[in-house]
Amino acid sequence: MASARSRARLIDRLRGLGIENDTVLAAMEKVPRHQFVDEAMTSRAYDDTALPIGYGQTISQPYIVAQMTQLLIADGLPDNVLEIGTGSGYQGAVLAEILPSIYTVERIEPLYERARRRFAELGYRNVRARLARDGVLGLPDYGPFEAILVTAGAEKLPTSLYEQLADGGRMIVPVGPTGDQRLIVVRRDGGYFEQEVLDAVSFVPLIEQRSDEPSH
């Protein structure tokens, strides 16, 4: 199949860019990215680039998905993960190939509904999608989480998620204004949170609920 060959080429490119974790590469090769993009974009599904998915959002560049996943599991495989920003569902599907339990939050209802259908159709029963107008608030009723992955750019570190991070856990989040974002790893050790600043990245903004916007 053309998509299988395209996936294999993508994996070779990811290796060349420094993605070394075989578990991550196997998951990236298995997930059918063409099923997470609009039909008009399927010919570009295995290009290493972000693509529009509507509503001002994008499906992340495969290299970024692989990099964030590799960072997330660097200390071992977490049992309970929270993803902020479901989007197309692609990042969640990659995590689902590796980890036992993922909660993912989306604020845009049509994207949430679409991703939920994709997860069901592809058999990812270990991903639980939730609709929330303010994903920055996370899902405190389901935590603490051993890992948190934020897939939109926050102006500043979303400290509201800190208390949902389990002791010994890590949070991966792009931080900074559009055009000047850096990937940050936050590690929790008791009441202490260590921050490590990594590569420059480019994500759509993380939008918090306005005070005049109704909750859902």
- Summarised one tens digit per residue, pLDDT across range 11-26 is 999 999 999 999 999 9
Percentage, residues of the chain above pLDDT 70: 91
Question: What's the mean pLDDT when you consider all of the chain?
Answer: 88
Q: What's the pLDDT at 210?
A: 42
> Mean of the pLDDT values across residues 26-40?
93
**214, exposed or middle or buried, with CB in 10 Å at 0-12, 13-18, 19+?**
exposed
b/e code 37-75 from CB counts within 10 Å (16+ = b): beeebeeebbbeebbebeeebbbbbbbbbbbbbbbbbee
- Each residue's pLDDT tens digit, 145-174: 999 999 877 777 778 888 899 999 999 988
pLDDT above 90 covers what percent of the chain?
A: 63
CATH value of 2-201 in 3.40.50.1980, 1.10.645.10, 3.40.50.150, 3.90.330.10 = 3.40.50.150
pTM of this prediction?
0.90
Active-site residues: which are they?
Answer: 60
More confident residue, 208 or 100: 100
pLDDT tens, residue by residue, 78-87: 999 999 999 9
